[in-house]
Amino acid sequence: DAKTTQPTSMDCAEGRAANLPCNHSTISGNEYVYWYRQIHSQGPQYIIHGLKNNETNEMASLIITEDRKSSTLILPHATLRDTAVYYCIVRAPGTYKYIFGTGTRLKVLA
Amino acid sequence: DTGVSQDPRHKITKRGQNVTFRCDPISEHNRLYWYRQTLGQGPEFLTYFQNEAQLEKSRLLSDRFSAERPKGSFSTLEIQRTEQGDSAMYLCASSFRESSYEQYFGPGTRLTVT
């Protein structure tokens, strides 16, 4: 079954880069990796997604390994407002079912 | 605010009662999802609609759960004969086909079954 594995929690100093890893070794060849974050008491918010190549947008960068079994989300200059739970998500092949996992609780420290 | 809205935001009910939640997606979004989230866990997929058609339903969804999306607009999620284990946050999300990678989530309905 499709699944993702992430560290339970991480701390990052404000202004430094936050690197959040994710293992998705069961991902199928044509499925994307998605990253969302959830700030306390709100619904999840889309950050970025990728298939094979590294991706960057105004929020973050996504580095995907060549074998596609893992990826890293990079927040280049973390701020206190980036404190949230970050989810690495895959979709079960051939379905519309998105698998969230338990996420990484990132705490940005002043 | 033209985001996804959910109603009610909070619901407390006694075990055995039926409850219904409503989700209003972003108006041009044809895809709609329901998720359930318990404390300390990530959202868990429940069901998916494309327009008015329910195309996917989680095996975790017992026959006490039913969802509808009449006319492909708002959606309702009904739980019959609620159990304490149904206590959770119920999240709705919508997306547009051409950018289906980005789901927009509502604030959720927190259900407490006593």
Confidence of residue B50 (pLDDT cuts 50, 70, 90): very high
> DSSP strand E in B19-71: where?
19-24, 31-37, 44-50, 53-57, 65-68
Confidence of residue A1 (pLDDT cuts 50, 70, 90): confident
Q: What's the average model confidence in pLDDT over B11-21?
A: 98
Nearest CB to A97 within list B4, B45, B108: B45
Q: What pLDDT digit, counting tens, does each position of B18-45 carry?
A: 999 999 999 989 999 999 999 999 999 9
User: What's the burial of B93, exposed, middle or buried (CB within 10 Å: 0-12/13-18/19+)?
Assistant: buried
Identify from B103, B104, B109, B110 which residue to disrupt to test chain A contact, counting A C-beta atoms within 10 A and taking the largest count.
Answer: B103
Q: How big is chain A, counted in residues?
A: 110
Q: Would you state the pLDDT for residue B2?
A: 72
Q: What pLDDT digit, counting tens, does each position of A29-83 carry?
A: 788 999 999 998 899 999 999 999 899 999 999 999 999 999 999 999 999 999 9
A-chain residue closest to B60, CA distance: A97
Distance CA B54, CA A58 (A): 34
Residue A87 backbone dihedrals phi, psi, to 5 degrees? -110, 130
Q: Would you state the pLDDT for residue B57?
A: 93
Beta carbons of A42 and B42 less than 8 Å apart? no
pLDDT at residue A6 is higher than 70: yes
Q: How many CB atoms lie within 10 A of CB B14?
A: 8
Q: What's the average model confidence in pLDDT over A19-27?
A: 93
Distance CA A50, CA A72 (A): 11
Please check whether residue B93 is in contact with residue B103, taking contact to mean a CB–CB distance below 8 angstroms. yes
Q: Would you state the pLDDT for residue B1?
A: 54
Distance CA B21, CA B77 (A): 5
Cα-based distances in Å from A34 to A27, A86, B44: 12, 11, 15
Confidence of residue A97 (pLDDT cuts 50, 70, 90): very high
Closest CA to B91 of B71, B70, B75: B75
Q: What's the average model confidence in pLDDT over B98-102?
A: 78
